[in-house]
Structure 1
Amino acid sequence: MGFNSRTVRTLGSLNEEGFASNDIIIRDVCILGGGSTGTYAAIRLKDNGKSIIVVEQNEVLGGHTETLYLDANRHVDYGVEGVFNNELSRTYLQRLGVEPQLRLASTPMTDYVDFKTGKKVPPPSGTLSPIEAATLYRAAIGNYSYLKDGLYNLPDPVPEELLQPFGEFVKKTGIQGTLQLVKAFAHGVGNILEAPLLRILQFFSIPQIDILLQGGYITPRNGMYELYKKASEVLGSDVLYRTTINRTERSNSGVKVVVHSANGDRKLIMAKQLLLTFVPIRESLEGFDLSTTESSLFEKWDWVNYYVAVVKNTGIPNAVTVMNTDPRNTPGALPLPPFQLALQFSGVDGYFTSKVVGNTSLTEQQAKEIVLSDIRRMASAGTYVGGHPEIAVFGHHTPTTVSVSNADIQDGFYKRVYALQGTLNTFYTGLAFCSDYSSLLWAYTDTVVQKMLSS
């Protein structure tokens, strides 16, 4: 049984008292979060005849997808830069009327620089070409095909090697030459060599390698945000922007959600089902009627802080990517957190993209200072002359790379998390449940949507 206009008065402690009739929204599904998975789920559910409402705290859809639009039809993608060139992605883009193109490298030249000194250094010893590295790495992780969908589909008991530091796996399998490629995909874990192998595989495993070797990536011709602009046109008034969740009340009969908009409007959403798409950390769940099981699971998450930026006036020549290289950290010369991964030419004259990784104490201001001080250090060292760096736009992707302790993984954490699906008419998707790549997230969201449609 779900909500309808006759049951609003009688279900639970939340009812229409204090709400004007036009402040009560009745839908089949309430979706919390309008990022990659929330937007995808909204389109899929709507296409299947379900009425939906999306609650989004930002002014636009898209989550970690961010595009800086400049003059003369120029743009810079500084969040998500592309999606897998596979059937699911192509079909979704076609559904939204978005024309894709292959995402090609915009930087034919790579400089290796020690960001701590600002000076150029030799490429890390033994580094393989991307194709050679991908092939070698693919062979080394072939035994973990049960992670091919980006899920924590773990055997019981969990293989011990998955919980050991990645550095030990590198030494055992002799894949030191792949570390620069691994860094490009898995830098979000922070200290790559000390992170558990499982954490690395969530970022760079069989699906990422196979698409790299076979299909590559595609991106909308007018920037990644075009995808969400088109989606917002399809969804129209079914999205509540700049709106936060104040309280939830869930039961086997349906769900009720009280939300507040930035202009002070307060609304009551009555729905048959709830889909939560953001990372369910306790800090984001104030006012939720969490069960003891949910609370005990969600308080275990750990994560890193992750920031993105577009920088100009760097003094760096166009068509160059400057890789942060630490010769003191072997093998691989990988930077240690907090660090700026690289300064990558965006394809637009004078604009470079940056990603900054640190622990949970790294603030936005500290991340900005890392970006600027690294560039100034290069100028002082005479590596790139004439730079007066300026951050054109900045964004934060925190929390990301969510994980739990090895002890919790061994204790069946992920099995219990996935078992929450459907409890109290509540469903979950997003990067806490699947590898943080749009195409994999959409595929997992499809399985959740099918459960919702059959419930």
Structure 2
Amino acid sequence: MRATLVAATTLVSGVVAKKEYCTKTIKKDVAIIGGGASGSHAAVWLRDHGRTNVVIEKAEQLGGHTDFYKDPVSGLDINVGVQGWMEYGNGYNFPHRMGIPTTGSMSFTPNENYFVDFESGEPVEGYQAPAPDAMVAALQTYLEVLYKYEDYILPGFENFPDPDAIPEDLTMPFGDFVAKYSIEAGVPQIWDATAQGLGNTMDVATMFVMQASGVPMIEAFLGTAQSALPPSGRLYDLYDAVADFLDEDVLYNSTVVKATREKGKKISLQVQDHGDDSITCVEAKRLLIAIQPTMGAMKAFDLDQQETDVFNKFGYATVYAGVIRHPSLQPSNAYSHRLPGPASLNYTAWPVAAQVGRMDYLGGTEDLYQFTAVGTDQDTPESMKALIAESIDTMIAAGTIPASDGEVTFEAFADHGLMHPRVSAEELYDGFIQKQVALQGHRDTWYTGAAFSAGFSAVVWEYNEKVLPDLVKGSY
């Protein structure tokens, strides 16, 4: 059941209400901000451990980057955003706890790959995908290096070395790391899967590529670990189960508009329902932030200098995924963005944001294609939709795909917002990670999610198992 709060007084959107205008007051042990993978897991864990909680979720459903599109023609449920659960630690305990088996497996449409410069619309002359043996060897080398540093960055940064002991491998630009270990043949797989979301991948400090394309994903590529789905293939089965379990302990379509946090005192939140503008007051003893801690998202939480000194250092890219239709795109084809020139042919140069990464035909459908796209922090859903349309138009103009009278339609468009938080090597040597980790418990506030862990569901579920026991320590 998803409860809708009825406003006793009509309020103007964005106006912070005084307590006497609150239509309802909720008192819980823990208030959780965000009902994505990390927030949903935390809510179930806390209830299982005897703590009451409420989830404040800005969307109309749980799941965060896990969404789906049901094709009315084929009847297929198409995962949008998260494509599978990568095996990590005891992470699969969560879907099993919710009665969701992990016996399904990921399948991929055997499309014919076209490597295209989306800016010119022309195929990249001379580009060939790495030979399978070379790719596997490169990924194996990369994985061996990942194992050396895994405890530093997964499932969180609590074991990250002091600034004067950080290995150079973690701070060097990823392009230099690739050259050092001669893993060029593995980079297309790394970039296509997740690392393109870093914006300018080859210039980013390597530890953030390791966080985005780390042990769980590389093991899945190499077949040494599981990559699972529910038997239905629909990842959202999990969040349907969580929504039923939490019932009225979720405030949907809601955001915090004002927060009061004083150490040792109750957390006071004013939460606005964006459907009817009603205000709910939430009183809690602990606060768990399970959203991306951007300065904009954290504005209502009255940040102090210690918190600001961390959150305003993060750089982000905007990430989008979805399902499109266009009559010029050809079934059984996949279109991958590549750059022209020798460096691209050697897998050491890659498109930078804003860019469309891929458009892949979805097997079993009549004419649907899944896309990924990455923007800068200045891009919007509208600008990225325009870029996708432009990329298709340039392929038509170049004769790469046939002309048609139609235009692109977006059957599903997931705006994942600001993702893959990262800082410079200089910030790492200035103790950034230690400052970030020190925020856990500061002002009775804890953090989970990709900024404090990694962007894999099973990894953040495992990270919660480390963080939440500390959150519930003591009597409260």
Query: Unmatched 5+ residue regions in structure 2?
Result: 1-15
Greater shift after overlay, 139-148 or 324-333?
139-148
1:256 aligns with 2:261: no
1:293 equivalent among 266, 285, 306: 306
Q: Aligned pair count? A: 441
Q: Which moved more, 1:198-207 or 1:26-35?
A: 198-207
CA distance in 1, matches of 2:429, 2:111: 44
Q: Which moved more, 1:70-79 or 1:118-127?
A: 118-127
Shift in alpha-carbon separation, 1:16–1:134, aligned structure 2, 3 A: same
Q: 1:359 to 1:86 in 2, by over 3 A?
A: closer
Q: Summarize the alignment of residues 23-42 of structure 1 with structure 2, pairs less than 5 Å apart.
A: 23-42=24-43
Residue 122 of structure 2, aligned match among 119, 122, 129: 119
Match of 2:423 in 1: 404
Q: How does 1:369-380 map to 2 (within 5 A)?
A: 369-380=386-397
- Residue 150 of structure 1: how far off its partner (Å): 4.2
Deviation (angstroms), 1:217:
1.3
- Whether 1:428 aligns to 2:447 is yes
Select the residue among 376, 381, 394 that pairs with 1:364. 381
- Other-structure match for 2:4: none
Tell me which residue corresponds to 2:188: 180
- Superposed displacement of residue 415, structure 1: 1.1
- What is the aligned partner in structure 2 of residue 90 from structure 1? 92
- Tell me the residue number matched to 1:6: none
Q: Which has the higher contact order (CA 8 A, sep 6+)?
A: 2
Give the counterpart of 1:215 among 201, 217, 225. 225
What is the DSSP-based 3-state SS (H/G/I as helix, E as strand, rest coil) of the residue aligned with 2:156? coil
Which 5+ residue runs of structure 1 have no aligned equivalent?
1-13
Segment of structure 1 superposing worse, 31-40 or 135-144: 135-144
Preserved CA contact (<8 Å) 1:79 1:308: yes
CA contact (8 A) 2:28 2:53 kept: yes
Q: Which piece of structure 1 moves more, 237-246 or 134-143? A: 134-143
Q: Aligned equivalents of 1:376 and 1:99: distance in 2?
A: 43
Deviation at 1:264, TM superposition (A): 1.7
Secondary structure, in 3 states, of the residue corresponding to 2:92?
helix
Q: 1:296 to 1:391 in 2, by over 3 A?
A: same
CA distance in 1 between partners of 2:77 and 2:129 (Å): 36
Q: TM-score, normalised by structure 1?
A: 0.90
Which of 216, 232, 235 is the matching residue for 2:243?
232
- Of residues 143-152 and 251-260 in structure 1, the stretch that sits farther from structure 2 once superposed is 143-152
* Alpha-carbon shift at residue 414 of structure 1 (Å): 1.2
- For 2:178 and 2:212, the matched residues in 1 are separated by 16
Q: How does 1:320-335 map to 2 (within 5 A)?
A: 320-328=333-341, 329-330=343-344, 331-332=346-347, 334-335=350-351
Q: Give the Cα–Cα distance (whole angstroms) in 1 for the partners of residues 409 and 160 of structure 2.
A: 45
Provide closer, same or farther for how the CA distance between residues 430 and 372 of structure 1 changes in structure 2, counting only shifts above 3 A: same
- Mark the CA change 1:288 to 1:336 in structure 2 (over 3 Å): closer, same or farther: closer
Q: Which moved more, 1:325-334 or 1:436-445?
A: 325-334
Which of 379, 382, 391 aligns to 2:399? It is 382
Question: Hey, what's the Cα distance between the residues in 2 that align with 1:323 and 1:144?
Answer: 31
Partner of 2:214: 205
Cα distance, 1:122 vs. partner? 5.3
TM-superposed deviation, 1:108:
4.4
Q: Deviation at 1:405?
A: 2.5
Letter in 2 for 1:97: G
Could you tell me how far 1:359 is from its partner in structure 2?
Answer: 1.6
Aligned to 1:393: 412
CA distance in 1, matches of 2:19, 2:31: 20
1:107–1:345 CA contact under 8 A, matched in 2: no
Deviations 1:124-163 (A, max 9, x none): 4572425333213223545323346243342222223422
Alignment match of 2:175 (pick from 167, 187, 205): 167
Q: How does 1:126-145 map to 2 (within 5 A)?
A: 127-129=130-132, 130-145=135-150
2:431 and 2:170 map into 1 onto residues whose CA distance is 14
| Contact residue 53 and residue 238 of structure 1 kept, 8 A | yes
SS in 1 for 2:268: strand
| Partner secondary structure for residue 283 of structure 1 | coil
**Of residues 155, 160, 183 in structure 2, which corresponds to 1:154?**
160
Structure 2 length-normalised TM = 0.86
Runs of 4+ with deviation above 4 angstroms: 14-17
RMSD across aligned positions (CA) = 2.3
Taking the aligned partners of 2:100 and 2:75, their CA distance within structure 1 comes to 16
Any idea what SS the aligned residue of 2:372 has? Answer: strand
Separation in 1, partners of 2:17, 2:71: 47
Secondary structure, in 3 states, of the residue corresponding to 2:469?
A: helix
The change in CA–CA distance for 1:147 and 1:105 in structure 2 (over 3 A counts) is farther
Task: Report which stretch shifted further, 266-275 or 287-296.
Answer: 287-296
Report if aligned partners of 1:46, 1:52 keep a CA contact under 8 Å in 2: yes
Rounded to whole Å, the distance in 1 between the matches of 2:55 and 2:267 is: 14
Residues 391-429 of structure 1: per-residue CA shift (max 9 Å, x gap): 222121111011123222111111121111112221110
Residues 199 and 353 (structure 1), Cα distance of their counterparts in 2 relative to 1, 3 Å cut: same
For 1:103 and 1:15, the matched residues in 2 are separated by 48
Q: How does 1:296-311 map to 2 (within 5 A)?
A: 296-311=309-324
Deviates more, 1:78-87 or 1:147-156: 147-156
Mean Cα deviation higher: 113-122 or 298-307: 113-122
Equivalent residues in 2 for 1:29-108, closer than 5 Å: 29-71=30-72, 73-85=75-87, 88-100=90-102, 101-108=104-111
Q: What CA distance in whole angstroms lies between the structure 1 residues aligned with 2:379 and 2:226?
A: 33
**For 1:406 and 1:168, how far apart are their aligned partners in 2?**
13
Q: 2-side partners of 1:237 and 1:68: how far apart?
A: 25
**Letter of the 2:359 counterpart:** L
Q: 1:17 to 1:216 in 2, by over 3 A?
A: closer
The structural deviation recorded for 1:15 is 12
Aligned-pair identity (%) = 26
